[in-house]
Amino acid sequence: MSSARLRAALVAVAIALGSCGESDRADDPLQQEATTSEAAEATTTEVTSPDIHVDRFPTDMLDEVLGRGELVCGVSGTRVIFSETQPDGSVVGVDADYCRVVAAVLFGDAGAVEFVSLTTGERFAALQSGHVDVLFRSTTWTQSRDTAVGLDFGPVIYYDGQQLLARAADGYSSSSGVADVAGAVVCALAGTTTEQNVSDAADAAGIDITLTDFDAIIENFIGGSCDIATADGSALAGRKAKQQPDDQEWVIFPATPFSKEPLAPAYPQNQSRFGDVVNWAVYATIIADEKGITQANVDSMAADPPDAEARRLLGGEGVLQNAMGLEDDAFYQAISQVGNYGEILGRHLEPAGLTRAGSINASWRDGGLIYAPPAR
């Protein structure tokens, strides 16, 4: 199916789903849909599929995906830190690595992934129509998406929240608050909950702000056409790391975000076997992180496990992966080829100046929210 035909089909499904969904959330709102669409057009891998029919998996999705031998994973392709398409066509980021984790669990090969770059308007239609198997696309888990839109969500892989980006030269600092932007022109992606969140925060602070919208928000922010840009904190940090001019200093605030944006994978509703695989692929990386099992030491850990749970996780005595339709060493392959949770986050957060330490994305043992059920 050509890219143009795929997009036309997705638009049709998006219209059908429009009354059920909400505006985009937790995408990179520093680019308008038109800009993102152009980038996606250039990087989208075609999905060989017949015309759209929503009931793509009348029987068991896991069996179909295993039989195909490749995971079709929906990503952004333009979001710094999470999934960014490189000049050579490769995709890097936290979301992209979790696509690889699931592929390693399913097939023993982290490279058995077809990445499909999707705009915010396409992503849910692409999942509903069966053009992708799973979304790892910085998507916030919300009530409406979990119910009315008809998606199921896996474990949260990153707890994010909306913040503000401003220039230090305008008198802002990392200790500034929402009340300090009174009278400012704020750039937000129109028609999204990003816009609604900042309006609600301004109302709560008792201030008036002027919202404006641009085709390329960050470029207009750099040029001074707006005073403030707003998006999820990770998106702002990624843009600051990549696009802050040498003669400017940008600051992100408030320290505590004014919205909750739990980013999680999404997959078709009522496909529990496939959902179990996605969920436990993520949990395996978290448990490995808790136990200090890394890419570098996973072989020695498998040969001499530190405890019974690690033995089961890495395919030894008492292994549970075979009951899921997977090979005994499925989770071993994911850790060996991609890494544990901390390794995945670290390689993409640190270049943007972010860290898990002291954040809610730290392990529960270190005061964070990252926690996995026991592998037993």
Domain ranges of the chain: 1-160+260-376, 162-259
| Ranges in the chain, pLDDT < 70 | 1-59, 190-193, 210, 212-216
Q: How far apart are CA 205 and CA 333, in angstroms?
A: 50
Residue type, 11: V
What is the sign of the dihedral through the CA atoms of 17, 98, 264 and 22?
Answer: negative
Alpha-carbon gap, residue 102 to 192, rounded angstroms = 30
| Sign of torsion over alpha carbons 284, 287, 289, 294 | negative
Q: What token pair was written down for 141?
A: 């888990």
Q: Which DSSP string do the residues of 208-243 spell out, in sequence order?
A: --EEE--SSHHHHHHHTS-SEEEEEHHHHHHHHHHH
Query: How many Cα atoms sit within 13 Å of 229 on the Cβ side?
Result: 31
Best CA proximity match to 10, nearest among 121, 117, 152, 148? 121
CATH number of the 162-259 domain: 3.40.190.10
Strand partners, 282: none
What CATH architecture does domain 1-160+260-376 belong to? 3-Layer(aba) Sandwich (3.40)
What's the predicted TM-score (pTM) here?
A: 0.79
Q: Does 1-160+260-376 match 162-259 in CATH topology? A: yes
Cα–Cα distance for residue pair 188/214, rounded to 1 Å: 8
Q: How many Å apart are CA 294 and CA 335, to the nearest integer?
A: 7
- pLDDT, tens digit (0-9, with 9 covering 90-100), for 107-155: 999 999 999 999 888 899 999 999 999 999 989 999 999 998 889 999 9
Q: How far apart are CA 84 and CA 81, in angstroms?
A: 7
Position 221 scores a pLDDT of 87
Torsion of CA 6, 7, 10, 16, to 10 degrees: -140
> What residues have CB less than 8 Å from 107, skipping those under 6 apart?
66, 69, 70, 71
Structure-token pair, residue 167:
């220039």
Single out the residue of 183, 185, 175, 232 nearest to residue 205, CA to CA.
183
Sign of the Cα pseudo-torsion (243, 248, 249, 254, in order): negative
Residue spans of beta strands (DSSP E) within the chain: 71-75, 78-79, 83-85, 91-92, 113-117, 134-135, 151-153, 158-160, 162-167, 185-187, 210-212, 228-232, 250-253, 261-263, 266-268
pLDDT of residue 54: 43
